[in-house]
Amino acid sequence: MSQAFTKAMARNIFYGGSVFFILLFLALTFDTHNAWPQRDNHEAITEKVSEGKRLWEENNCIGCHTLLGEGAYFAPELGNVFKRYGGKDGIKAFIMSRPKEGVPGRRSMPQFNFSDAELDAIAEFLEYVSGMNTANWPPNIQG
């Protein structure tokens, strides 16, 4: 055990470890690509869902809300808002009920004055998000 650690030994450990982790990376990438078709429902992405996502981005909803754990933590998580508000009608009613000037004395969700078609698109987008396989995220109905 008094053998010295040589440059050749270090080089072999480096190359062996590199090859191992490259092969591991490729195996996990292959497995992920095979799991996608079974995991996600791509047929559920309609024009309305795409329009809802566009409105989500244009109005910077993620600047206050989180969606599947990503975004700001000022306002509630919206990954399960479809279930929390009881469907599309509940979501649309909440968005439309926002006061025009906001709640006095605190920052709150503004009134965006969406059209009925835009409200439908946002509700469709949030319904799509609530149906995603998120490994039980968010952990409770309150978000």
- Over 80: is that where the pLDDT of 87 sits? yes
CA-to-CA distance for 52 and 119, rounded, in angstroms? 8
- Extract the runs of DSSP E, i.e. beta strands, from 8-142: 66-67, 70-71
Residues 129 and 108: their CA atoms lie apart, in Å, by 23
pLDDT at 100 over 80: no
- One-letter identity of residue 113: N
Residue 138: what residue type?
P
Instruction: Please give the class, per CATH, of domain 41-143.
Output: mainly alpha
Indicate the domain borders of the chain. Answer: 1-39, 41-143
Integer Cα distance of 66 and 80 in angstroms: 11
Q: Which two tokens stand for residue 29?
A: 């990438």
Pick from 19-33, 60-74, 96-110 the range whose average pLDDT is largest: 19-33
What pLDDT sits at residue 33?
A: 87
- Which is more confidently placed, 2 or 24? 24
User: If you average pLDDT over each of 37-41, 76-80, 109-113, 120-124, which comes out highest?
Assistant: 120-124
| pLDDT of 102 over the 70 cut | no
Residue of 14 and 32 predicted with greater confidence? 14
Rounded to whole angstroms, what are the CA distances from 30 to 19, 55, 68, 98, 134? 17, 34, 24, 47, 20
- Looking at residue 50, what is its pLDDT? 94
Q: What is the pTM of this model?
A: 0.71
